[in-house]
Structure 1
């Protein structure tokens, strides 16, 4: 177990300017000739060539993970430049062996504040204790979730910008935000899937304190927040990679373990590795008040249902959450743990403390559909969206001993990994342009996105929106290459004010309201009316049944074709059925009055649209 009070940078305590630095470097000891220094400088002096950093030497403390420590008062450090003044200080570690410089600089892997490049940082005085105002917030149940994935700078520049758009997200029915990695990287822009630090929050977004403000604002609106956790691989400048490759000592974190698509990664059989990431999870839950994790590339640290990697981490994180009120659901925790295990999304739900899993199948089929010459709907796409699988049914819950909780897959048709559906609709992919040939794209077929939106928000499972899909965002993307992760793709918020964007946003808002208000759309109960489907023409219908039979049922009709069509549709209940989408015309309410026992009637479905009927 790692005590976070012993590591990182801590200011205050015995004196307001007391400074303590601590770092674990297993197998790096004075007995082998090692010395460890920290180079500190006031941030206002960093570009002044006449003001060098102050070098301080850490003292070896020993212990299971070989702790090194430095303690002094900031005001008693050598007075040069702004040293001793209030403000932000930058620091990096430097490792010597037998008096020779071995590693010129490396970041503090326990720092909670970062500076430019590979600098770590601390503030003097430290930020005051954050005033959380989230009393009464409860993490939504899994079946009630509507998730929205965003990259902070592309979505709204920084955490404050996201706060300004929370009412917009809430209007879509979103009650859970998935943040792409917000831990810091040395580059001025990068997706974040090669972390430099795991505790330090990216300063270009606003750092740790503004992340707390975002989480606090989300909780006040009933919105949960989860983080994209990247635990299978890391940046080449990550301290435990850089130091141990240079030193040649046994690495406490990195080595062959599971799948290695990104090269040799973390080895969870090494106790320090496991304890480090368990401490990261606890920090995000306890200190930052996040509500769960989306675990990136789970195959990279999954070694079976009773292994030392992913399975153990999600189990222990679940147990850790049980004592925290916002997760309390009586006999279970509402902690959100999502696995990106694209090849085995059912297996990871059956075998581990995972509440939701990701797979690409529906998204890849949607991409094929928008690029096809005809408008036919693959039956496999329908089955995936309604979770129909008679040979290998989707698990609905996970149980282990006294623990039991619901599980489900995430449903999504766009993601950060692939080109937008609008891009694929608007012309061919120019490899030379890398998905940025936007000025020549034809966005006139935006309306073809509408049936996909309706299907997504009425599907079985947890709907996940990728930022901007509700606006008809258009960026393309290579499957590989640096432009995927190093090129910014700021959202076209101007689309919100155009006919296409406003129409799509209005549709998503209406669908979000329906999913929130109708238990049938949040249930696991669906019946696909395959006997009446006209998939070759893009027409299909299905019924969503509520768990409580006293609640309304829902019949959904979809038309992916370019022509309006008529579909023979069974309605399971008698009485009035009222259509809820109205094809953009709120004054044109369509209703059916059906005889006892329900009946099958022909229903007109507009082209590239759909209908949602709700029983009275």
Structure 2
């Protein structure tokens, strides 16, 4: 393996302080490698090194120059470690000096993970501009809302200008239609000035289908395993060292050169690796080295469809050391409790009993038989703190994978939306919002692509229709290739000036404020939590404590008023009633109530009391 340098990027075209370019490409399949300057057609020969690496040093190429690699004199390909593409995944790369940006965020100190209130957004649909600069214009809004960490869906270069981001094929290149690498650096700096952390979604489990030229260079893929997206990336087969370095360097680049605070790694259960040191564990070891070198803090968050604590247990316990994971099971239990039909993966969830279990145990399935999977599933997460689990009532997947992309605002009542928001924000876990939910956005978030390969585009179109064939009585699946589908997914910021949207926004602000101000909600000690659910009345009560402070939460998911007993020993003071007139409701709640008294909870509402 080429020697990994923690302090600087080695792959691709990189510039020294003296203006010289250092070129390194991993191409063990090639017999000859040249760098071709697009405008002048000048060729720079690379010298073969051991383990399949090719290298050169030259002053001929400058930042801003377009170039590609010429393999064996005939295959002209973009740089696998390209930082910037001119227009497409098929065309030339643009030489970019990572060190040219003048950072001014030295006062930024990444927050404790426990303090994160996450907001997931898609760059292309978050604003009308659909750019990083567009996000910058909304930072004051995000601060007012109270979120302190934005999670940006993948920005790796993909075909065309419209994509969720999971079809990227150049993991180092920042999507040109979003503004490119310098615009992302500017956005991160602006976020840090505003006190907002930046989490970047990255995809290390597969490559997109169009413009994927990595296989021309080296053994990036293996036929040893399959994934839902084709051959798996090669993390443990012959020639895997170069592949491992490629992705480890990518992680380090985002942290070191773009000052990203955390990475969210997509579907890590689809990463196949039986090496003695799993790739995720090696990534963690290298990130620890980087943090020691720079003094900055970075987090690694995983999307994981396995209730397996090995991924999030510390290195010292032979875990992979990931800092946190998404918990889809909390979402599924909450959705079923709120009225979602129990089909597909929702069929495993009973509703309020499972929601109570998720509050208590994080995983719903931690050793029980899963009817949907037809097997015993999961392991108990007894010693993992609350900050290791991220919960939500909606996200890009759970909205966008519906045929019509309906958000919660289109599926449940206004009162139920408030209750679901409260259920997330009073949890002993890290809360995440999906862009627009805080003001009850009515536009859907649909699945969209802009593949330039017409056959592939048609295959995606047909596949989407086939996926929802059983639902065609409800209408046709929107065309994922159509620009209209993309535009229909954009946020409607003008809604914020109207009701009920303005009221919902104020309600979310209040919930987030309580989450920050009340130690019993803010401190994520899972041991200091009591939860009770009643299937018959569809009510759930939560008692959370921290030192001398206690918070009692009463939730009623039914459409009738229900009675709940308040915990003994305290005189409780009301701090939130989601059914109050100020939040668009008509019900009152006692301002104070004795412990052990009967509390009437309005339909589809959440009441929060403190002591």
Q: TM-score, normalised by structure 1?
A: 0.78
State the match for 1:179 in structure 2: 152
Identify if the C-alpha distance between structure 1 residues 265 and 187 changes in structure 2 by more than 3 Å, giving closer, same or farther.
Answer: farther
State whether structure 2 residue 415 is matched by structure 1 residue 418. Answer: no
Q: Distance in 2 between matches of 1:127 and 1:6?
A: 12
State the match for 2:300 in structure 1: 337
Asked if structure 2 preserves the Cα contact closer than 8 Å seen for 1:302 and 1:310, the reply is no
Q: Which residues of 2 match residues 321-360 of structure 1 at below 5 A?
A: 321-327=291-297, 335-350=298-313, 351-360=319-328
Q: Distance in 2 between matches of 1:304 and 1:171?
A: 46
Deviation at 1:236, TM superposition (A): 3.7
Deviation at 1:252, TM superposition (A): 3.3
Deviation at 1:545, TM superposition (A): 0.7
Q: Distance in 2 between matches of 1:484 and 1:593?
A: 54
Asked if structure 1 preserves the Cα contact closer than 8 Å seen for 2:126 and 2:435, the reply is yes
State the match for 2:118 in structure 1: 147
State the match for 2:102 in structure 1: 131
Identify if the C-alpha distance between structure 1 residues 510 and 309 changes in structure 2 by more than 3 Å, giving closer, same or farther.
Answer: same
* Residue from 556, 566, 570 that aligns with 2:567: 570
Cα distance per residue 1:561-590 (max 9 Å; x no partner): 22333322225x434523234645569895
Q: Distance in 1 between matches of 2:100 and 2:340?
A: 56
SS of match in other structure, 1:135: coil
Deviation at 1:321, TM superposition (A): 2.0
Q: Which residues of 2 match residues 495-514 of structure 1 at below 5 A?
A: 495-514=495-514
Cα distance per residue 1:376-403 (max 9 Å; x no partner): 95210222134367975424449xxxxx
Identify if the C-alpha distance between structure 1 residues 295 and 352 changes in structure 2 by more than 3 Å, giving closer, same or farther.
Answer: same
Deviation at 1:543, TM superposition (A): 0.7
Deviation at 1:340, TM superposition (A): 1.4
Where in structure 2 are there 5+ consecutive unaligned residues? 314-318, 343-349, 368-378, 448-459, 466-477
Q: Does 445-454 or 478-487 show the bigger shift? A: 478-487
Q: Distance in 1 between matches of 2:203 and 2:106?
A: 30
Asked if structure 2 preserves the Cα contact closer than 8 Å seen for 1:107 and 1:239, the reply is no
State the match for 1:539 in structure 2: 539
Q: Distance in 1 between matches of 2:479 and 2:525?
A: 36
State the match for 1:247 in structure 2: none
Q: Which residues of 2 match residues 30-429 of structure 1 at below 5 A?
A: 34=32, 36-41=34-39, 54-69=41-56, 71-73=58-60, 88-96=64-72, 101=74, 103=75, 105-118=76-89, 119-122=91-94, 129-156=100-127, 157-237=130-210, 241-244=214-217, 251-256=218-223, 260-269=227-236, 270-303=240-273, 306-327=276-297, 335-350=298-313, 351-371=319-339, 377-387=351-361, 393-397=380-384, 408-419=388-399
SS of match in other structure, 1:537: coil
Deviation at 1:90, TM superposition (A): 2.9
Asked if structure 2 preserves the Cα contact closer than 8 Å seen for 1:418 and 1:477, the reply is no
State whether structure 2 residue 533 is matched by structure 1 residue 520. Answer: no
Asked if structure 1 preserves the Cα contact closer than 8 Å seen for 2:330 and 2:391, the reply is yes
SS of match in other structure, 1:38: strand
Q: TM-score, normalised by structure 2?
A: 0.78
Asked if structure 2 preserves the Cα contact closer than 8 Å seen for 1:540 and 1:559, the reply is yes
Cα distance per residue 1:222-253 (max 9 Å; x no partner): 22212112112113456653415xxxxxx432
SS of match in other structure, 2:231: coil
Identify if the C-alpha distance between structure 1 residues 408 and 70 changes in structure 2 by more than 3 Å, giving closer, same or farther.
Answer: closer
State whether structure 2 residue 526 is matched by structure 1 residue 554. Answer: no
Q: Distance in 1 between matches of 2:299 and 2:148?
A: 12
Q: Does 164-173 or 87-96 show the bigger shift? A: 87-96
Q: Distance in 2 between matches of 1:72 and 1:305?
A: 40
* Residue from 418, 433, 439 that aligns with 1:471: 439
Asked if structure 2 preserves the Cα contact closer than 8 Å seen for 1:520 and 1:544, the reply is yes
Q: Distance in 1 between matches of 2:202 and 2:36?
A: 28
Identify if the C-alpha distance between structure 1 residues 476 and 344 changes in structure 2 by more than 3 Å, giving closer, same or farther.
Answer: same
Matched positions, count:
537
SS of match in other structure, 2:398: coil
Q: Distance in 1 between matches of 2:582 and 2:439?
A: 21
Q: Distance in 1 between matches of 2:356 and 2:183?
A: 42
Q: Distance in 1 between matches of 2:406 and 2:262?
A: 37
RMSD: 3.4
Identify if the C-alpha distance between structure 1 residues 194 and 456 changes in structure 2 by more than 3 Å, giving closer, same or farther.
Answer: same
SS of match in other structure, 1:36: strand
Q: Distance in 2 between matches of 1:274 and 1:318?
A: 17
Deviation at 1:345, TM superposition (A): 4.5
| Larger Rg, first or second structure (1 or 2) | 1
* Residue from 3, 12, 15 that aligns with 1:8: 12
Q: Does 281-290 or 174-183 show the bigger shift? A: 174-183
Asked if structure 2 preserves the Cα contact closer than 8 Å seen for 1:181 and 1:229, the reply is yes
Q: Distance in 2 between matches of 1:227 and 1:485?
A: 24
State the match for 1:603 in structure 2: 599
Identify if the C-alpha distance between structure 1 residues 377 and 193 changes in structure 2 by more than 3 Å, giving closer, same or farther.
Answer: closer
Asked if structure 1 preserves the Cα contact closer than 8 Å seen for 2:425 and 2:511, the reply is yes
Q: Does 604-613 or 577-586 show the bigger shift? A: 577-586
Identify if the C-alpha distance between structure 1 residues 5 and 175 changes in structure 2 by more than 3 Å, giving closer, same or farther.
Answer: closer
Deviation at 1:346, TM superposition (A): 3.1
SS of match in other structure, 2:222: coil
Asked if structure 2 preserves the Cα contact closer than 8 Å seen for 1:303 and 1:310, the reply is no
SS of match in other structure, 1:109: coil
Identify if the C-alpha distance between structure 1 residues 14 and 477 changes in structure 2 by more than 3 Å, giving closer, same or farther.
Answer: closer
Deviation at 1:358, TM superposition (A): 1.8
* Residue from 26, 30, 33 that aligns with 1:24: 26
Q: Distance in 1 between matches of 2:210 and 2:303?
A: 25
SS of match in other structure, 2:603: coil
Asked if structure 1 preserves the Cα contact closer than 8 Å seen for 2:418 and 2:605, the reply is yes
Deviation at 1:296, TM superposition (A): 0.9
